[in-house]
Amino acid sequence: MEHEFQLFPEQASSYAAKLDWLYYSLVGVAVFFTFLICVLILTFAIKYRRGSRASRGNPSNGNLKLEFTWALIPFVIMMISFGWGTRLFMEINRPPADAIDMYVVAKQWMWKCQNQNGKGEINELHVPVETPIRVTLISEDVIHSFFVPAFRVKQDVLPGRYTSIWFRPTKPGTYHLFCAEYCGTSHAAMRGTIVVMERHEYAAWLEREGTTPASVQGRLLFERFKCGDCHGGDASDDGPMLSGLFHRTETMRDGERLEPDLGYVRQSILEPQARVVAGYQPVMPAFQLSEEQIFQLVAYLETLSAQPLKSNTLPEELSR
């Protein structure tokens, strides 16, 4: 993490350079046409100044070729920019299947981070280098924004709704994390760091911390709240089974069909009457769990799936 002034942050993620080149190209096109227009204005202002001998007769009534040219050139430039930007947008919004999941809860004025191994951190997130990381975000109070300049990532963090973003860090080091959305009187103090470590160092750090995996913490919550009484391994009359939840489509009582995800699980815990699976009665009580506890429960539910989500596991070399 550099402390001296930098015009642009260093490039420390797999798509940082790609975004920078798009930015430079847009600025370059804007500067070129601004310069061209200024030169033309100055040229004609001098040529047709008062008292000059420049001919002012026989004005042109139109030039189809010229009009077509100056319409086509901007169109081509804009379509190139659009295609380039769209391709980057799709890349940034489609995390790889082998991405490691990290969870971040924002609140005034701090970042609460947790990885799948159950390690919780405040205003700090440790990640391995050259490994895709998917960060799932939610806020406990107001709108925040997760912004890491060196990675060129910025994502709004919303209360009551999950958002996510992914990145692949390419350089070990410590990088600034900011809140980029005004969130109250101490908004400027809502800062953190992303610590990128070599893979073997990250694996050693996880082992050294000796934390309880999130899935184990989730199982303890599952047992504590007696979820298995209604959602056991086999189908029951009280509630649908949770085994394989994230690999099937559910039909609701109102006919809606959906693929269960993190948001659906959260809503089912906090507002169980909002969406009820067809064939079951709306008898489940609401549970006021914290966002961290919901993440832990989801981690446990994923272990019940017939085919665990690959994006929630550490690469083999990190798990050794």
Nearest C-alpha neighbor of 106 from the set 80, 149, 129, 137: 137
HEC profile for 171-185?
Answer: CCEEEEEEECCCCCC
Q: How far apart are CA 148 and CA 109, in angstroms?
A: 16
Give me the domains of the chain, ranges plus CATH numbers: 214-319 (1.10.760.10)
- Produce one character per residue of 214-252: b if its CB has 16 or more CB atoms within 10 Å, e if not: bbbbbbebbeeeebeebbeeeeeeebbebbebbeeeeee
Q: Output the tens digit of pLDDT for each of the chain's 320 residues.
A: 555 667 788 899 999 999 999 999 999 999 999 999 999 999 989 888 887 877 777 777 778 888 899 899 999 999 999 999 999 999 998 899 889 889 999 999 999 998 877 778 899 999 999 999 999 999 999 999 999 999 999 999 999 889 999 999 999 999 999 999 999 999 999 999 999 999 999 988 888 866 777 888 888 888 888 888 888 765 566 788 888 788 888 888 888 888 888 888 888 888 888 888 888 888 888 888 888 888 888 888 888 764 443 334 444 444 44
